[in-house]
Homo-oligomer: A and B are copies of this chain.
Amino acid sequence: MKKIPHRIYLSEDQMPAQWYNMRADMKSLPDPIINPATNQPAVEEDLYPVFCKELAHQEMDNTTRYVPIPEEIQEFYKMYRPSPLIRAYNLEKALDTPARIYYKFEGNNTSGSHKLNSAVAQAYYAKKQNLKGVTTETGAGQWGTALAEACSFFHLPLTVYMVKCSYEQKPFRKSVIQTFDADIVPSPSTTTQVGRKILEENPGTTGSLGCAISEAVEKAVSTEGYRYVLGSVLNQVLLHQSIIGEESLLAMQMIDEYPDIIVGCAGGGSNLGGLIAPFMRDKLTGAANPRIIAVEPASCPSMTRGRYAYDFCDTGKVTPLAKMYTLGCDFIPSANHAGGLRYHGMSPILSKLYHDGYMEAVSAEQTKIFETAVTFAKQETILPAPESAHAIYGAVQEALKCKESGEAKTILFGLTGTGYFDMVAYQAYMDKTMTDYIPTDEELEASFAKLPKIPGIQ
């Protein structure tokens, strides 16, 4: 048998020309989002003040199975895609496992992660609608960087509300975003009503993601020709990210492989939902039945310990209500360095699939995550982002089980990006100053008690 190469690349011609919408194959759909002003299910038009029309349509479209990727987006993708599917020969050897481990690496672009896949789509549709600009928020900074790159390419003005503590602690992230001409505002700021109110009440605050979202939304809906964009959680984001999974499937077909197990890291669900899309299609249609495993931080365990309930998507409670696994929108995750996974909720699509038994979820403490990240970096020449390292951890656990059982399973995981801007966390791990935090049951119960009440629904 011919040896499988280390890196498997599709040719440009083989790149998927359409995104896949999992909802079209779901026997039971996610519950509709609810407009908190009316307590009624939202319709597409309700979203127009916030999202551009095409994206509002994608958000609500439960039936179109395949969405053609516009030519301009395909052309942009070709600058950094297809991304490689990599056989982790050296990791396998280090683990002494009979398992065959593959990872889909999304870090080969300046944003350093898969976030660019949706950023370019959202920037393109906004530009096509002749919008004057968009706003967003960023915490860890990967989404802000990706969107800045995409908006710069399409000459679309962008304002990024960056959580003030990140803005101050991550000056290099800020510089990258500014290199791509985005206007960057430390949040809370005096540029919005909600920001001014928060600053008045608490002048020394270093901000939160919830506050940054609230400011970005307020700025978008109050500025003529502006809309708001978001890098995770949303149905449209999972749609765009399906290119990750579709490419993975095609690359595995090229080498006559199919994964027994697919592992992804889980924050809002953008990478996980994209990676698993075609494999979930196989599960939903009965074509195959691989195991799908989400790995989340033990400090922010929305699937493994959260409630499946309607909740706000933000801490500021300005968004519609979504039915999802949530820790409660008032839950403040501890200072976990995997910033991209510090989200109280989970994509409604993934929440529904998890609820219906189509996938599993596990959680891990961050010191274990970083231990795995360092092992991986030494074996595979890629320093992973802390978020990505959750997926590596899950894959390693399964590979070690294979070692026990002697089974040569095929494992695929998503390596969302690189950790070049996360060296403070790596240093803390090496200095042994990194600590773990697991919320107590009492804390979670107190947070669940504050979940919104919706007459007739919950």
Query: Given A12-B6, A171-B427, do A382 and B78 touch, yes or no (CB 8 Å)?
Result: no
CB neighbors of B among A47-82 (8 A): 75, 78-80
A153 contacts B378, CB within 8 Å? yes
Complex Cα–Cα for A116 and B424 (A): 24
Contact of A378 among B11, B12, B180, B426 (CB under 8 A): B180
Known: A108-B108, A423-B172, A423-B176. A381 touches B80 (CB 8 A): yes
Q: CB < 8 Å: which of B11, B89, B420 contacts A5?
A: B11
A419 CB to closest chain B CB (Å) equals 9
**A25 at interface, CB cutoff 8 A:** no
* A401 at the B interface (CB under 8 A): no
A141 shortest CB reach to chain B, Å:
12
Chain A, interface residues (CB within 8 Å), range: 35 or more
Question: What is the distance, in angstroms, from A369's C-beta to the closest C-beta of chain B?
Answer: 14
A206 at the interface (CB under 8 A from B): no
Q: Which residues of B contact A39 (CB under 8 A)?
A: none
A430 contacts across to B, CB distance below 8 A:
175, 178-179
Known interface pairs A11-B5, A179-B374. Does A116 touch B171 (Cβ–Cβ under 8 Å)?
Answer: no
A400 to B153, CA, bound (A): 21
Distance (whole angstroms) from the CB of A109 to the closest CB of chain B: 5
Residues of the B chain whose Cβ atoms lie less than 8 Å from the Cβ of A92: none
* A418 / chain B contacts, CB cutoff of 8 Å: 110
Q: Point out the residues of chain B lying under 8 angstroms from A181, CB to CB.
A: 378
12 A-B pairs within 8 Å (CB atoms) are namely A5-B11, A7-B12, A79-B86, A79-B89, A108-B108, A109-B382, A110-B381, A110-B383, A112-B420, A175-B427, A176-B420, A420-B420
State the A residues within 8 Å of B (CB).
Answer: 5-7, 9, 11-13, 75, 78-80, 86, 89-90, 108-112, 116, 149, 152-153, 171-172, 175-176, 178-181, 374, 377-383, 418, 420-421, 423-424, 426-427, 430
